[in-house]
A and B are shown apart, each in its own frame.
Chain A
C-alpha cells in the first residue's frame, strides 16, 4: 500500500510520457503537434516554477528572464546557422550590410557553446541575483516585484536594441536546427519529441527533489525559515539551489520554444508573459508534481485557441478562472484530487495506519 502510493507519481510520469511521446505523435496533426510542443516548453518552465514557488515559497514573477536567456541563445544560434558561415543575419544586413557582427553574437555560431550557454547563462544570472536577494533576506512581495522588474528590464533592453537583437520584431525565419531542416515534417516531429522528452526529464528531476532530503528541507524553509536557520542551515543556500534549478528549467523551455514556434520576441519574455507562466502554475496547483505542467499546458492551449479566435473574451475568462481558483482552490485544481482521495479513504473506512494515532492526538 505505502509502496504503491510512493510509486504512484512515477507511474503517473510514465503514463504522461507515453501520452506525449507515443500517443500524441500517432493521433495528432502536424499543426497540433507543433502546438503541443509549444505547451511542453511552457510546461518545462512551469515545472521549475512549481519547485521554486510551490515548494520553496519564492514567488518568481520574472521567469521570462530565464526563458528569454535560453530562447535568445537558441535563436541567435539558429539565426547564424540560417545565415551561413561567416555571414551576417538577415535583419542586420537590412540595417547596415557592412557592419561587423556584434561581439556577443560570435560565440553563438558554435553548437556546443550554444548548448552550454542555455544551461550556464541562467545558472550565472540566477545565482548572482538569488545570492544578492536571499542573503539580504529579501522575500515575499519585494522578491516578486524585483524579479518582475528584471523581466521588464530585459524585455525593454531587447526592444531598444533593434540592430543587435532584432528589437520588437524579434528573431525568426530559422531554416535549420543543428543541421536539420526545420521545414521538414519528420524534423518538426523530432524537435517536438525533444521538447516532450525534456519535460518528462524535468518532471522526474522535480519528483526526485521532492522526495529527497533537500525537498523536505525546502518545504521546511518555506514554512519556517527562521527555524531552519536555528537548526544550523543557511536558508539562503537552500532557496538559491531551488531558484537556480527553476531558472535552468525556464531557460531550457525557452530554448526549445524557438525552433518549435519559429519566432521569439520581447513580448514572450516580458512582464505579462512571466505572469501568464505563474497563472498556469497557480491554476494547476503549485505544490503538486503535475499541477504546474498541466496548468501551463491548459493556459497555453487556451491562449492559442480562444486567445487568437476571441482575444477580448479570453482575457476575461482567464481572469475569472484565476479568481475562482484563488477563492475556492488556493492550491490549484490538483487539490481536487487530494480531496477526492480523502473522501474515498474516509468512505472505504479502512483502518489506515494513521488513524489510531490521529485519535490519540485529537483527544
Chain B
C-alpha cells in the first residue's frame, strides 16, 4: 500500500461557477511530513480548491494523490483512495455519540452484512483516535453537545480512524480558545509525520506557529508561495491583507490579531 510518492500534487486547477471563475489555474503540492497551509482573504477560493479536490465541486486540471487522479471521481471514491476532509462549519452527527461518530468513520471497509449487526466493543482504531484527540472522556456524549473545538477534533478523529493519507482541513481552529489552538497545532504536527496535511486558515498566529510551507491565494489565483518568513516578506501578500504595504506589521508580524 505504501506508495513511494504519497504526495498531493495539484496543478492548473480551475473551477468555474457559471461565468464566475472561483479558482484560476492554481497549482500547489503537499508532502508527508509538512503542515501545508493555504491562506487568503475571504472569497479567495480556498474552500473551493478543497471542494474540487474532494469531488464536491467540478474542477478541471489535475489533482494527483500518488499516481491516482482525483478530479472526476465521485466524492465517496476519493475518500476511499485515502483523501479525507473536514468542513468549515464542523459537521458531525449531532444525535449520535462521539463513539458512534468514530465507529461510522471506521466502518468504511466493513462488509454490508456486518452493518446489520449491532456494535460490540470498540475498534482499536477508534480507541487510538479517542486518545489522540483527547475525546476519551466525552466518548458517550451526543456529538451535538460538544464544544466547537471538540467537534473539530472529532472530525479530525474521524479522518484518523479512516487512516486517511491526505487530510484537507477547512479552518480547523476557527472559534477555538488559545489552548485549544495550541493543542490542535500539536496534534496536526504529530499527524503530519506520515500523512499529507493541508490546512486552510485565517488565523495568522496559528499559521506562524505551525506552518511549514504556505500558499497564498487571492481572487482565485496563487499570489505567493513559500515558508512563513518568505510569505511575510512578500509585499504583494502584505498589500492583499492590508491594502497598504506599509502596514504589514499589523497582520503578519508576531502577536497580531486574526485577519477576518
B146 contact from A208, A220, A226, A361, Cβ within 8 A: A361
Nearest Cβ distance between residue A221 and chain B, in whole angstroms? 9
Which residues of chain A come closer than 8 Å to B138, judged between CB atoms? 357, 360-361
A213 contact from B87, B95, B119, Cβ within 8 A: B119
Which residues of chain A come closer than 8 Å to B145, judged between CB atoms? 358, 361
Which residues of chain A come closer than 8 Å to B74, judged between CB atoms? 234
CA distance A360 to B92 in the complex (A): 20
- Contact between A217 and B140 (Cβ–Cβ < 8 Å)? no
- Contact between A232 and B108 (Cβ–Cβ < 8 Å)? yes
Cβ of A227 under 8 Å from chain B: yes
Which residues of chain A come closer than 8 Å to B235, judged between CB atoms? none
Q: Contacts A357-B137, A361-B141 given; indicate if A220 touches B93 (C-beta within 8 A).
A: yes
A219 contact from B93, B115, B117, B119, Cβ within 8 A: B93
- Contact between A232 and B79 (Cβ–Cβ < 8 Å)? yes
B118 contact from A212, A234, A357, Cβ within 8 A: A212
- Contact between B115 and A353 (Cβ–Cβ < 8 Å)? no
- Contact between A231 and B116 (Cβ–Cβ < 8 Å)? no
- Contact between B141 and A220 (Cβ–Cβ < 8 Å)? no
The tally of residues in B whose CB lies under 8 Å from a CB in A reads 40
- Contact between B115 and A360 (Cβ–Cβ < 8 Å)? no
CA distance A224 to B91 in the complex (A): 7
A217 contact from B75, B87, B107, B146, Cβ within 8 A: B107
1/0 per residue, CB under 8 A from B, across A222-251: the answer is 011011111111100000000000000000
Residue of A nearest to B94 (CB): A223
CA distance A226 to B103 in the complex (A): 17
Cβ of B54 under 8 Å from chain A: yes
1/0 per residue, CB under 8 A from A, across B76-98: the answer is 10011000110100011111100
Is the contact region of chain A dominated by helix, strand, or loop, or is it mixed?
helix
Q: Give the residues from 345 to 363 in chain A that come closer than 8 angstroms, CB to CB, to chain B.
A: 353-354, 357-358, 360-361
Cβ of B105 under 8 Å from chain A: yes
B93 contact from A209, A214, A227, A229, Cβ within 8 A: A227
Cβ of B228 under 8 Å from chain A: no
- Contact between B91 and A226 (Cβ–Cβ < 8 Å)? yes
Nearest Cβ distance between residue B168 and chain A, in whole angstroms? 10
Residue of A nearest to B164 (CB): A232
Which residues of chain B come closer than 8 Å to A360, judged between CB atoms? 137-138
- Contact between B76 and A232 (Cβ–Cβ < 8 Å)? yes
Cβ of A7 under 8 Å from chain B: no
Cβ of B49 under 8 Å from chain A: no
Cβ of A106 under 8 Å from chain B: no
Cβ of A31 under 8 Å from chain B: no
CA distance A259 to B216 in the complex (A): 72
- Contact between B108 and A231 (Cβ–Cβ < 8 Å)? yes
Which residues of chain A come closer than 8 Å to B95, judged between CB atoms? 219, 223
B107 contact from A211, A213, A361, Cβ within 8 A: A213
Name 30 A/B residue pairs within 8 A (Cβ), A-sorted: A208-B118, A212-B116, A212-B117, A212-B118, A213-B107, A213-B110, A213-B116, A216-B96, A216-B103, A217-B115, A219-B93, A220-B93, A220-B101, A223-B95, A226-B87, A226-B91, A227-B87, A227-B93, A228-B104, A229-B79, A230-B56, A231-B79, A231-B108, A231-B158, A231-B162, A232-B108, A234-B74, A353-B140, A357-B137, A360-B137
Interface residues of B (CB under 8 A from A): 54, 56, 74-76, 79-80, 84-85, 87, 91-96, 100-101, 103-105, 107-108, 110, 114-119, 137-138, 140-141, 145-147, 150, 158, 162
Q: A-B pairs with the 7 shortest C-beta distances?
A: A232-B79, A214-B115, A220-B93, A232-B108, A227-B91, A211-B118, A213-B115
